[in-house]
Amino acid sequence: MKKKILPLILAMGILAAHSQTKPSASVIPVPASLIENSGTFTLKNNSVISISAGSSKEIDGMGLQLAKVLHTATGYNFKTDNAGTNEGIKLELLATPSTSLGNEGYRLKVTSTGVLISANKPAGIFYGIQSLMQLLPKEIESKTLVQNVAWTVPCVTIDDQPRFGWRGLMLDVSRHFFTKQEVKKFMDDMVKFKFNLLHLHLTDDEGWRIEIKSLPKLTSIGAWRVERNGKWANSPKAADASEPKTYGGFYTQEDIKELVKYGQERFLTIMPEIDVPGHSMAALASYPELSCTGGEHSVYNGIPFMNWFPGGKFEAITENGLCPANENVYEFLDKVFTEVAALFPFEYIHMGGDECAKNFWEKSPAVQALMKREGLKTMPEVESYFVRRVEKIVNSKGKKLMGWDEILEGGISPTANVMSWRGVKGGIEAAKSKHNVVMSPSSFAYLDYVQGEPLLEAPVYASLRLNKVYSFDPIQEGMDAKYVLGGQGNQWTEQIGNYRNLQYMTWPRALAIAEDTWSPKEKKDWSSFASRVEKQFDRWDLADDTYSKAMYDAIVAASKDEKGNLFANISTELGGMTIYYSFDESNPDNYYPKYTAPVLVPKDAATMKIVTYRNGKQIGKQINIPITELAKRAPKK
């Protein structure tokens, strides 16, 4: 008897140890197919990174880069060779292309003896490497040597390719300027999650950020403004002409070339946006003759310059639009797009086209004369005339036009491409009329919106939580998928003035965009995603990167019954959390009342304080909501 029990106990011990130490295969975005097998592969000092014979120089470079990255945390040296050995890590371009993998797909097979990444194209190998990095222990993200880690990779078979060819993030470098180094870091962060497109919003009212050699004032004047630190970078008082314009910056053409190359080395394309005819205060400050009124103009001077009305209507207080009736404008744009087209190899140039106030156009005799001459009846038709002329210019440089969904108004040329941002409506309309569409609806993809409890976050006019971003599907009902290029998240930076905050506002919501645009729809699963996001938190901590943990904070809503009694309706984004609260001004912990159903708010309470717990530990931040604020959240009856 004894003889039999001992091996059994030992086997159970080994099994238990194995299940404790076996790393789980956690990859974001979730692969199209991932099969976990038993066992692990362990990286060792002097493991080989082998590039299969016949692979390109590009793959050799990736092998060397991988060796360098793995060395940092492991301290191991890796040998790279072309011997075609099957031990260690092998990168292999398929001699016979796989029809299922396309241009970006890859296969990743981990066995106890080695890792094989194979793909049709170098991009696929690159994405296979990104998945491999996520399969390694989190300490691989450390920027310094980590001792006593078994560098194991779970045995898996991954067969993966993206759902969409356009997986993007937009970065607004106009409202706040981000240095070339910061943009590179943003790109590094993106490609880990298989994004392949960075849309740079290069011009706006707050600054022109790209050198145009034939129009030097765009950057000598247009790239600089007064420094403002208030909410929305506004201040009570406009700057006068004597106040120094100390805030700003721009990318020289050499910088742009460097960024484009940096992207290419990471399979990340950069799409430039020159936002016209609206959002053009910086251009008008540089060349006031491009406005309808002439005279002095300045880059954003510290006070609001638009009036926003309910229902999405608006007007400009300060003129910020190029004049569509001025031939100099088209000459100007020809110069701009000539240089932009030469710098960015991407087939699309984005012309903006959003939020163009028409009130200065309406008053302009030149615009009225244009309307008469061209038979244009409405302001949207005037704008459409402008867009068509810009498209001709962009096309003449060998590029396709992309614009925000306003370009649909007043008629659109059959060849224009649309980026849908005002909800999904514009995208559906554009796809129905056979235009290519990139979906970046504010309702799902605006990463500048508040991501948690508004009382705890920097103020922005709208909210968008991680779980809503995760529910984004670029293909909406009624759309023919063949017109949907893909999707992207947009990071506007009116309220984001430094890189740490940019990271905080971007991550983890951009992880959701990555999965929305890469992974098959049927593979998406919120609770699986949320647990993989939590693992990513640990990695960012090790890499000294920052991100938001707002997904742990309670969601605080309210309702009123027929008698007008106020109820607090509290929920959480994640399962497995418990909510505790108080109404007596004290700070609740897990011995306080537990929230299980809408709570009647005592008539005399001034504040409701709420915390979330998981496994006996506080996990979300405490929310102290004044009852007056809570009452405002109850839907009006």
Would you name the residues annotated as active-site residues? 204, 279, 355
Beta-bridge partner residues of 329: none
Q: Name, in order, each residue with C-beta under 8 angstroms of 300's C-beta and a sequence gap of 6 or more.
A: 205, 206, 207, 225, 233, 281, 282
Q: Which lies closer to ligand ACM via its Cβ, residue 137 or residue 426?
A: 426
Q: Is the dihedral of CA 454, 460, 463, 467 positive or negative?
A: negative
d(CA 461, CA 468): 17
Packing angle of the helix pair 180-191, 253-264 (nearest 10 deg): 10
To ligand ACM, the closest distance from the beta carbon of 355 in angstroms equals 5
Do 339 and 212 touch, CB atoms closer than 8 A? yes
d(CA 358, CA 278): 9
Q: Is the dihedral of CA 315, 317, 322, 324 positive or negative?
A: positive
Query: Which residues are at the interface with ligand ACM (CB under 6 A)?
Result: 354-355, 404, 421
To ligand ACM, the closest distance from the beta carbon of 440 in angstroms equals 8
Q: Which lies closer to ligand ACM via its Cβ, residue 26 or residue 436?
A: 436
To ligand ACM, the closest distance from the beta carbon of 421 in angstroms equals 4
Tokens standing for 437? 């569409």
Q: Is the dihedral of CA 8, 10, 13, 14 positive or negative?
A: negative
Residue type, 51: I
Phi, psi angle pair for 618, to nearest 5°: -65, 130
To ligand ACM, the closest distance from the beta carbon of 195 in angstroms equals 19
Do 491 and 172 touch, CB atoms closer than 8 A? yes
d(CA 569, CA 596): 10
Tokens standing for 76? 């191991």
To ligand ACM, the closest distance from the beta carbon of 566 in angstroms equals 35
- 3-state SS string for 548-589: CCHHHCCEEEEEECCCCCEEEEEECCCCCCEEEEECCCCCCC
CA-wise closest residue to 577 among 476, 471, 467, 477:
467
Q: What is the DSSP letter of 332?
A: H
* 417-420 and 437-439 beta bridge pairing: parallel
Name the residue number minimizing CB distance to ligand ACM.
354
Do 103 and 127 touch, CB atoms closer than 8 A? no
To ligand ACM, the closest distance from the beta carbon of 448 in angstroms equals 9
d(CA 632, CA 558): 8
CA-wise closest residue to 473 among 420, 432, 406:
420
